[in-house]
Structure 1
């Protein structure tokens, strides 16, 4: 239970010429989740052995009191002892660095700060519960503080009562990340939604870079892919990135969602004789399989993908449709019956096979996502097109007449970082304001014309009366 009289928990994120100040809200409920991590021991281990850490996690949110991204997710990890806390801090620090480097790799962007878009993977910042500074690659400094004097706060450091009475600050770590609205995926698309393909470019590039850094997300699914835009770019972005894990050495447990599991991991889970032996290639394949599924959700509809590709194959009930290239080909051809989509269908189905463009490619340590997405673009261009109907003559005179209000609406909707729903709301608000202003100006013009007309008519009548 939160104490209304105790000072708020505040998180300070800062870098050269920027600062984010987050006020953390108490969680809505009392539920905590047990989460285990397999992390390298402190100082590393030449044998590749990992340390198992058990944590209790509190999920809550924070609001930004400064300029920049407004709403944030906060995960608070409670550890058993100082050794576990330091090992987890080392793991989370490496994770945050990998995410930052994956985003920095994206070319052609004008990023003002590491905590603002454009992103391929949502960045995560690590905050120490004991109030000490945490620095990330010289780009981001984090600190847990209070609105009161920092020196006094450090001497009398204690965590809010809703974390737990007598909770030791040095046993807690916080992971904070920008909050993005979840997407509402279309359930079924009876023709390919290829208009969405371009929005996957940054995500594909960032995923390849993350794998080159020997990290994997391991839980790519529709709920963990959102759409984000800023002034310079827009596209899909991967969230829940604080679940990312080192791929080499691989963990002994995998935190993911069974429905979206890659076939190689799924078979290993159910074949007890084979044993559980994760490899870096399987972790990369898990990410790439999830990426395939999300792209197909955008193209074919989420409900269709989950109820068809991720369900049992009618011709082989022991396997899912997504376990076989031939089964995926058959399902897509039935879903998009028009033969003109055949080039696209073939490229979409290839990664589900076992050949050089299937299992061998997606379990490879080499980059894959960008090249495959480029093949999808090329295949879509090879699909035959119906002739477009003749365009109706455009009223270009109206565009020029209202160019100022139209540009004002665009500028207001695009200003600063925001999610797609927020930009839509901004556009509607701006349209209302500009429409009212235009209506008032037009009314004033017509009123003046009417007044002038009345004056002219009155003068004419007067002349006629005098002349009569």
Structure 2
């Protein structure tokens, strides 16, 4: 007998989604701990653990410009009390997202522009949505109807109604993961910069609303296609988002991508009752954002290996990224030359304490990066070497074609002319330049060989 399908329908003004949730692939659940306030802004949070699994859903009722696929994150709690507390916490997190996206001018919350992908939180037995009629979703609409299409749940989801009530779902439009790759060219991939403008504006909007994401890293940045079919980057996963007023004690973050001063606060919090200032939490977001942007410009593994490598020393002081001076040194090594001097100077701002200023604009920083990339410094002398040796190339061609020849003779004379001219250049230039030019001039013999084949036919 086939298993029951998990299908539910969301209906709001102007949109409908009928989602078939797919069985998650075989994998161990991820245990995640949450510091959940017993009452909003209570300084003594509750600790709630949940087993988290990830899957997707297909939209069986796709509308024009609707989302055919959805992402589904399933939380399984041990007790009903944990599930109720986590439900309240996650709904508040998604309200943060809705507020920030509205500030970007998202008229329809189901469509970009977004700073953060919008999320709908559901209780696993749907009962909370049925109580009191319409339920305000975190997509900014009112749900008119939520229903199950079967009398029981699929076996992979929940064995009974009690287990379903201890289950929560976070449902969001599906966006594409970014494949972070290594980059070996010296020049930064500056064409990616404009894709970060919407994300930066969304981050500023969150900060204006006293909200910090706290966990910005490459895995939490995805790609979405916007109205003009261009690509933009957006944030996902607001589980760690937090209000900065009143100052919190226990922000959640990924240590690898954490800001140095936040690492120090976390280390000292084990021994002292310290609250984290808003500026440090905003800096945590800006620092993580800068690392993601640099992963696009210079390569994911370069960021991990050079800026984030953990050396000896206390937390928050043992990485190149924890020092403005050392971070700038790594930038000079990765993007050398006068051409990128202005870009490096702006990039270096993200590794200074000025990012703790609540008024420091992430969107303004990205705009300065774009301007620096479009008006780079004067190119170094090495970029004009082709023009410097143009006359030498002409001499090779002239000597090779001084006499009427067969194809084979043209190749032989061309090779001798190339070698002779390379020796002249070698006497005129430094050894380093000689190697480059010799290779370039010798390459002419390939052209001559091709010409010889044509002449010989």
TM-score scaled by structure 1?
Answer: 0.70
2:434 counterpart residue number: none
Q: Distance in 2 between matches of 1:229 and 1:276?
A: 45
Note the C-alpha offset of 1:236.
0.9
1:310 counterpart residue number: 308
Q: Distance in 1 between matches of 2:224 and 2:351?
A: 29
1:63 counterpart residue number: 58
Q: Distance in 2 between matches of 1:282 and 1:19?
A: 41
Q: 2:369 aligns with which of 373, 376, 395?
A: 376
| Residues 29 and 53 in structure 2, CA contact (< 8 A), matched pair in contact too | yes
Note the C-alpha offset of 1:271.
5.5
Q: 2:180 aligns with which of 182, 185, 198?
A: 185
2:349 counterpart residue number: 350
Q: Distance in 1 between matches of 2:212 and 2:145?
A: 27
Establish whether residue 160 from structure 1 lines up as the match of residue 157 from structure 2.
no
| Residues 240 and 251 in structure 2, CA contact (< 8 A), matched pair in contact too | no
Q: Distance in 2 between matches of 1:384 and 1:69?
A: 44
SS of the equivalent of 1:205 reads helix
Q: Distance in 2 between matches of 1:282 and 1:315?
A: 21
Q: Judge which range, 215-224 or 120-129, deviates more.
A: 215-224
2:114 counterpart residue number: 119
Distance 1:340 1:253, change over 3 A: same
Distance 1:212 1:6, change over 3 A: same
Distance 1:257 1:115, change over 3 A: same
Q: Distance in 1 between matches of 2:338 and 2:8?
A: 56
1:92 counterpart residue number: 90
Distance 1:114 1:5, change over 3 A: same
Note the C-alpha offset of 1:251.
5.3
Note the C-alpha offset of 1:106.
1.6
| Residues 259 and 283 in structure 2, CA contact (< 8 A), matched pair in contact too | yes
SS of the equivalent of 1:305 reads helix
Q: Distance in 2 between matches of 1:142 and 1:34?
A: 33
Distance 1:34 1:249, change over 3 A: farther
Q: Distance in 1 between matches of 2:201 and 2:256?
A: 25
Residues 155-304 of structure 1 mapped to structure 2, 5 A cutoff: 158-166=152-160, 168=162, 169-188=164-183, 189-232=185-228, 233-249=230-246, 252-270=249-267, 275=272, 277-279=274-276, 280-304=278-302
Note the C-alpha offset of 1:348.
0.8
Provide Cα deviations, 1:214-269, integer angstroms capped at 9, x if missing partner: 22222211122122113335311112234433333455544432221111122344
SS of the equivalent of 2:305 reads helix
| Residues 131 and 145 in structure 1, CA contact (< 8 A), matched pair in contact too | yes
Establish whether residue 50 from structure 1 lines up as the match of residue 48 from structure 2.
no
Length, aligned pairs only: 367
Note the C-alpha offset of 1:307.
1.0
Note the C-alpha offset of 1:209.
1.0
Q: Distance in 2 between matches of 1:272 and 1:123?
A: 32
Give structure 1 stretches of 5+ with no counterpart.
354-358, 390-468
Q: Distance in 1 between matches of 2:272 and 2:345?
A: 34
TM-score scaled by structure 2?
Answer: 0.72
1:426 counterpart residue number: none
